[in-house]
Structure 1
Amino acid sequence: MPVTSVHTDPEALTTTLVADFPVPVERLWGAFTDPRQLERFWGPPGFPATFSEFDLRPGGRARYDMTGPEGDVYRSVWLVITVDEPTRLAFDDLFATEDGEVDPAQPTSTSVLDFEPTEAGSRVRITTTFPDADALETLVAMGMEQGYAQAFGQLDRVLADLREYALGKGVLTEVVDDTHVRFTRAFAAPRHLVWRAHTEPELVRRWLLGPDGWEMTVCDNDLRPGGRFRQAWAPVGDTEGEPFGFEGENTVVRPERRIVSTEAMTGAPYPPNTNDLTLDEVDGSTLLTLLVTYPSVEQRDVILATGMTDGMEASYQRLERELLATA
């Protein structure tokens, strides 16, 4: 975990987070000053940021939205104060209205990010200062400390070379906590091809089959927020097993970037989980991240015990073989 400390000082009206990374300070600085890299970690899991403005110079502004798995949107704007490459970045961090203006009804804060080299790489210290105790208490109660820690906990994957840490490694499974599991898989293909493979039914039918011996009998997806989807499979020939399927509702759809949907096994008595699928392209390769939220730790363990990771990898190998290799 790169975050080494998070501390709130009510008397000084500050919250300070320190995180260390095994990369040069210039590389760490770059992750915070490139909007496409920022989007991959600026926001806790399930609430990724999308930057629609990014003028990173004194007097400039950056505007971003964080969209939750239910489609709820949190809007913010940075008013840039200081940019001293590669040592200091400072900005007023403010809530925004739908049209991008500062929301005067919400609490304000100022963030100063200091970067420095260390023996093992580099360190970032983010100090957030509040105008008064009410603003501090409100933002801390909203989960600011935890949100920062979770967001910075995703930065390792952004700083790492995608080809070194993910390509050829298959599906990587990380149990985040009792109800969240993150699956990642890299593809040596551009994002638009991986997106098409996941959203065009005639393509989905060719690879989303799990182990050999199964066929997809239903693949319906109304790909819009509020749209329903249904998928079903059946064994072929001498393959043993009973037909099954999944169904749910899409809550967030951002073309070529993100799909969030609920998912439940058709006819099963347990509540649905939420699947948050994102695609990030780096130098022509694509990192797929699937963050699954389960209703309970018991349901999480039951589903993981079915061999879910192996089934995913079998399907993704077929995706590479049947679609990406011939594109």
Structure 2
Amino acid sequence: MPVTNVSQDPQALTMTVVADFPVSVRRLWDAYVDPRQIEKFWGPVEWPATFTRHDVYPGGESHYYMTGPDGERSGGWFEYLAVDEGRSFEVLDGFAREDGTRDPESPVMRMVFEFEETSTETGTGSRLINTTYFNSAEELEQILGMGMEEGLLSAMSQIDDVVADLQSFAAGRAVDTQLIGDNQARMSRVIRGPVEEVWRAHHEPELLRRWQLGPDGWTMPVCEVGTSVGDTYRFVWEKADAGKDAGNDGGERFGFTGTVLESAPPHREVTTEAMIDGDTNSGDMNGGDMNGGENTSTTNEMTLTSVEGGTLLSLLVTYPNAELRETILATGMADGMESSYARLESEVLAAL
């Protein structure tokens, strides 16, 4: 158990938790900013957490829910007020309703997480100081009465195993695919290089044409990028030489189109995505007709986070249903993404 002290100050309306770790500040910080890692210890042992959004930058948000032994859920959210990378972040912390939206009838607390370097017998370690600020003595009593301290201690009993795992979340690993809920999937990969360069490579057509190609043998003849909320994008890929021996002048094609719903450079972008007719002259931009009229549109949430070794790229895809998620993932989507992301990493490193 890394927790070394828990104290309450009724006058200041605070509860402070101090925990010490035999790892670097950078390693501990990454455990908090990587959704794959924080969800392994944010909830109590019997109530594991699932993060559906985790955007650690000023103005960003995190959304999560904890699942109990009988399948019941309890949700929460953070709103990031300040982030000093590697040193501290400050959030508003509240409860969420079943649909994931904020519960306006529940208390909202302020929490500050501070990360400090320490010295240990074996070298350099780190310390986390987590202070929760309550709005009143009644609120402090209410929240503590709900088992906040016990839950927090149970949750943090799991963190040692997470920070000791240096391999599962490191740079150099292929795309990691995680199924979330009934109809979501999160793809994660560390791209060697800074956040700003990874963002740029997603929004400059010339760069996109060089890396976002999937398996070998494909080109990207159409690359219309959306950069602002409300913009429409369109990408079309063509397999080199496919079909030309049959007498036509084009290769096998497919494409996607969508709209930019949110944009917070260089950290977060949300877009819709629907398949379109790969014939760039067809004018088919509706995206719903490729499967007999079935809705195949997805919502894609991309978050870029600075971590040790580069940039953690997280892509949360929300499908219309579980069946479509299974069908799409079974096509080898993750393998195609890994081919593209390996090229992306090369492009980013070449620009440094």
- Judge same fold: TM > 0.5, yes or no: yes
Letter in 1 for 2:193: A
Alpha-carbon shift at residue 93 of structure 1 (Å): 4.8
Deviations 1:13-51 (A, max 9, x none): xxx9x9x99x448849964xxxx9866569943252433
Q: Which structure has the larger Rg?
A: 2
Could you tell me whether the CA contact under 8 Å between 1:170 and 1:185 is conserved in 2?
yes
Match of 1:258 in 2: 268
Corresponding position of 2:44:
none
In the alignment, structure 1 residue 290 sits paired with structure 2 residue 315: yes
Q: CA deviation at 1:211?
A: 1.0
Alpha-carbon distance between aligned partners in 2 of 1:206 and 1:311, rounded to the nearest angstrom = 14
**Is the counterpart of residue 46 in structure 1 residue 53 in structure 2?**
yes
Task: Describe how 1:242-253 pairs up with structure 2 within 5 A.
Answer: 242-253=252-263
CA distance in 1, matches of 2:91, 2:262: 29
The gaps in structure 2 that reach 5 residues or longer are 2-14, 40-50, 64-76, 83-87, 95-103, 116-125, 245-250, 277-286
The 8 Å contact of residues 78 and 92 in structure 2, kept in 1 or not, is answered as no
Asked whether the 8 Å contact 1:224–1:253 carries over to 2, the reply is yes
Q: Displacement, 1:210?
A: 0.8
Comparing 173-182 with 232-241, greater Cα deviation is found at: 232-241
1:280 aligns with 2:298: no
Superposed, 1:139-288 pairs within 5 Å as 165-238=169-242, 242-266=252-276, 267=287, 268=290, 269-282=294-307, 285-288=310-313
How far has the Cα of 1:173 moved from its partner?
1.2
TM-score for the superposition, normalised by structure 2: 0.56
User: Identical aligned pairs, as a percentage?
Assistant: 37
Task: Supply the distance in 2 between the matched residues of 1:225 and 1:157 (Cα, whole angstroms).
Answer: 41
Unaligned runs of 5+ in 1: 3-15, 52-63, 79-88, 96-103, 116-120
Are the equivalent residues in 1 in contact too, given 2:109–2:132 (CA < 8 A)?
Answer: no
Displacement after TM superposition at 1:234 (Å): 1.5
| 8 Å CA contact retained: 2:304, 2:313 | yes
User: Hey, what does 1:58 align to over in structure 2?
Assistant: none
C-alpha spacing 1:206/1:76, structure 2 compared with 1 (3 Å): closer
- The structure-2 alpha-carbon separation of the partners of 1:129 and 1:221, relative to structure 1 and needing over 3 Å to count, comes to same
Q: Quote the residue 1:326 is aligned against.
A: 350
Contact 2:170 2:190 in 1 (8 A): yes
1:246 is paired with a residue whose SS is strand
SS of equivalent to 2:52: coil
- Per-residue deviation, residues 115-138 of structure 1 (Å, max 9, x unmatched): 9xxxxx9999988868568x979x
SS across alignment from 1:263: strand
CA contact 2:214–2:336 (8 Å) conserved in 1 = yes
Q: What SS does structure 2 have at the residue aligned with 1:50?
A: coil
**Cα separation, partners in 2 of 1:28 and 1:74, compared to 1, 3 Å:** closer
Taking structure 1 as reference, are residues 50 and 177 closer, same or farther at Cα in structure 2, changes over 3 Å only?
Answer: same
Task: Please tell me the root mean square deviation across aligned C-alpha atoms, in Å.
Answer: 5.4
CA shift for structure 1 position 274: 1.3
TM-fit CA distance, 1:66 = 2.5
Contact 1:187 1:320 in 2 (8 A): yes
User: Aligned partner of 2:313: which letter?
Assistant: L
1:307 paired to 2:332: yes
**d(CA) in 2 for partners of 1:270, 1:92:** 37
Q: Tell me, in whole angstroms, the C-alpha distance in 2 between the residues paired with 1:242 and 1:326.
A: 31
In 2, the alpha carbon distance for the partners of 1:179 and 1:24 equals 38
Which residue type is aligned with residue 53 of structure 2?
G
Shift, 1:309, TM fit: 0.4
* 2:91 is the counterpart of 1:66: no
Retained in 1: the 8 A contact 2:111–2:131?
yes
8 A contact 2:188–2:315 mirrored in 1: yes
Equivalent AA in structure 1 for residue 213 of structure 2: L
Deviations 1:262-315 (A, max 9, x none): 111123332421111111223562221111122211111111011000100111
Rounded to whole Å, the distance in 2 between the matches of 1:112 and 1:156 is: 21
Distance 2:78 2:114 in 1: 26
Moved more, 304-313 or 237-246: 237-246
Instruction: String of CA shifts for 1:92-131, please: whole Å, max 9, x gaps.
Output: 9578xxxxxxxx998444669899xxxxx99999888685
Q: Secondary structure at the match of 1:165?
A: coil
Equivalent pair of 1:176/1:182 in contact (CA under 8 Å): yes
C-alpha displacement at 1:165, in angstroms? 3.0
